[in-house]
């Protein structure tokens, strides 16, 4: 298994799962939030994830860890209001998709670009219910994976936000590069054979 991972790394392929790629983009989007809270002197909030996005739990888990790491205490549920400030966060976009299909060489294995995109809308609400801060942050992470590994790296089928459809096209397999190689070889042959006459 380690040999396979080493070969993939040497070929320029990533072995990170879609969850790990999404987490990288999510951390990028969430890091500015505790800095904004600190600039306002806020060191304790109640975190409230808004909306019905399937990845809301992932946002809550990641943001809680980032806030804790930056010295912002996350209090209990929004109902107890012990923190006096509620940090309301809505995932506007949180997904992993696929980009271009390519080959590293003419006859190399097919690979596909993978892109994690996150956009988060945040509001800080005081104990009187007034919005005292709003911000929108985003993060993007991208890499290239082997086409054959895309399904294995996608994770659970129930996490549709982490496993969008692979792009259609580039299905020539080994036949496509062989045809290109054959055409180029024929042209080279014709060029040199016409010069010999």
Residue 127, beta-bridge partner list: none
Average pLDDT, the chain: 81
Q: What is the CATH number of the domain that holds 48?
A: 3.30.160
Q: Please state, in angstroms and rounded to a whole number, the distance separating the CA atoms of residues 139 and 25.
A: 5
In a shared domain, residues 41 and 84: yes
Instruction: Say if strands 86-102 and 73-75 run parallel, antiparallel, or are unpaired.
Output: unpaired
In a shared domain, residues 66 and 156: yes
In a shared domain, residues 85 and 140: yes
- What average pLDDT score do residues 29-40 get? 93
Closest CA to 149 of 7, 13, 6, 11: 13
Query: What pLDDT score was predicted for residue 60?
Result: 94
In a shared domain, residues 56 and 106: yes
Structural domains of the chain, count: 2
In a shared domain, residues 127 and 187: no
Q: Please state, in angstroms and rounded to a whole number, the distance separating the CA atoms of residues 152 and 5.
A: 14
Residue 55, beta-bridge partner list: none
Quick: pLDDT tens for 142-158: 988 887 787 878 877 77
Range of the domain at 196: 169-197
Quick: pLDDT tens for 118-145: 999 999 998 888 899 999 999 999 988 8
Q: Please state, in angstroms and rounded to a whole number, the distance separating the CA atoms of residues 118 and 24.
A: 10
Asked whether the predicted pLDDT for residue 9 surpasses 60, the reply is no
DSSP 20-69: HHHHHHHHHHHTHHHHHHHHTT--EEEEEE-S--TTHHHHHHHHHHHHHH
- At 39, list the tokens: 């600039």
In a shared domain, residues 52 and 114: yes
In a shared domain, residues 131 and 197: no
Instruction: Give the confidence band of 162 by pLDDT, cuts at 50, 70, 90.
Output: confident
Asked whether the predicted pLDDT for residue 196 surpasses 80, the reply is no
What is the CB neighbour count within 10 angstroms for residue 155?
Answer: 16
In a shared domain, residues 155 and 193: no
Quick: pLDDT tens for 43-98: 899 999 999 998 899 999 999 999 999 999 998 755 555 668 899 999 999 999 88
* Under 8 Å between Cβ of 101 and 111: yes
In a shared domain, residues 174 and 122: no
In a shared domain, residues 43 and 9: yes
* Under 8 Å between Cβ of 17 and 5: no
Helix (H, G, I), strand (E, B) or coil at 49: strand
pLDDT, greater one: 195 or 90: 90
CA dist 51 → 55, 86, 99, 180 (Å): 10, 15, 27, 50
In a shared domain, residues 175 and 123: no
In a shared domain, residues 117 and 197: no
């Amino acid at each position: 298994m380690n040999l396979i991972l080493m070969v993939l790394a040497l070929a320029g392929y990533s072995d990170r799962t879609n969850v790990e790629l999404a987490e990288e983009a999510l951390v990028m989007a969430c890091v500015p939030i505790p800095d904004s809270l600190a600039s306002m002197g806020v060191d304790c909030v109640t975190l409230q994830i808004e909306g019905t996005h399937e990845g809301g739990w992932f946002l809550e888990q990641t943001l809680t860890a980032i806030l804790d790491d930056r010295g912002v205490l996350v209090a209990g549920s929004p109902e107890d209001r012990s923190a006096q400030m509620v940090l309301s966060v809505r995932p506007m976009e949180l997904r992993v998709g696929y980009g271009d299909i390519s080959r590293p060489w003419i006859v190399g294995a097919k690979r596909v670009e993978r892109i994690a995109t996150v956009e988060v809308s945040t509001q800080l609400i005081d104990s009187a219910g007034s919005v005292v801060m709003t911000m929108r942050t985003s993060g993007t992470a991208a890499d290239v994976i082997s086409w054959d590994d895309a399904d294995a790296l996608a994770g659970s089928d129930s996490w549709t936000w982490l496993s969008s459809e692979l792009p259609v096209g580039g299905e020539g397999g080994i036949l496509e590069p062989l045809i290109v190689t054959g055409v180029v070889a024929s042209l080279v042959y014709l060029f040199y054979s016409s010069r010999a006459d």
